[in-house]
Amino acid sequence: MSSQSKGPQLVGKSKLTYCVITVAFALLGVSSLYGDSVSVDSTDFTGSRTSAPGGGITATGPWADGGFELSWNIADNQDGTFFYQYKITGLGGGTLAKDVKYWMMQLTPTIDWTGVFDDVGFSTEVGRFKKGKKNPGMPGDLFGLKFDDGTLEVSFVTDYAPEWGSFYAQGKGKNGDDAYNIGFGTDPTGTDFTNWIAVDGVSVPEPSTLILLLSGTGLLAGAARFRKKT
């Protein structure tokens, strides 16, 4: 009788252990896919990147050598929302960058962005944009927000905190002028984020949150085992 009574408990514990391990690896998998995104510190809520040497942007045509500047201003509204403002100019407020045909800002692909930018007052498109005939100068594919009408100054409010990411801009010139951050398509690392810009969309648990999630899973497992014993 005793061996029969222990059998179901062992099976239950095995299934529970399997579930805990599965959940843990699933969470770690999410972390490995998107956990490298680095949140923008409040000291960097205002910043800019330029195509001048060391400015963080690679650009061609008249945009090269300081002819392209992208600046941002982000504010925490202290109500769970963030205000974003972007502006594209020539370095020092010049006019070279007015020839922008369109530009894209990277977004976190795990967020449902449906309707988020519908009422911002300018033409936008959210999706995965691929390097090819339409974007011949883009270094690689990019999931993001596209400003279709050559808008040079935009602002909006969303529920998502900023992180470091990539952008791409294409000009109206016959030579197909391009501009993009030097770290395009790579994960920000270290403490120098000059090669990226501040973009909208942190949706992934930070490492400390992930640990809490895993700890919570362990506590649930322990509680289940305790109920079995009692």
Q: So what's the pLDDT on residue 36? A: 56
Sign of CA dihedral 158, 162, 163, 166: positive
**Which secondary-structure segment (H or E) carries 8?**
helix 2-34
**Which secondary-structure segment (H or E) carries 221?**
helix 207-229
Task: Please answer whether residues 138 and 180 qualify as being in contact, where contact means their C-beta atoms are separated by less than 8 angstroms.
Answer: yes
Q: So what's the pLDDT on residue 195? A: 97
Residue 36 or residue 184, greater confidence: 184
- Rounded distance, CA 167 to CA 104, Å? 5
Q: So what's the pLDDT on residue 4? A: 46
* CA–CA distances in Å: residue 13 to residues 8, 21, 125, 214, 227: 8, 12, 49, 18, 11
**18-66, pLDDT tens digit by residue?**
433 333 333 333 333 334 579 999 999 999 999 999 999 999 988 999 9
Task: Please answer whether residues 167 and 43 qualify as being in contact, where contact means their C-beta atoms are separated by less than 8 angstroms.
Answer: no
| Triad 106, 110, 116: Cα angle to 5° | 70
Q: So what's the pLDDT on residue 33? A: 35
- Rounded distance, CA 81 to CA 202, Å? 12
Token readout for 164 is: 């470091």
Average pLDDT over residues 72-77: 98
For the chain, give every domain's residue range.
2-35+208-229, 42-203
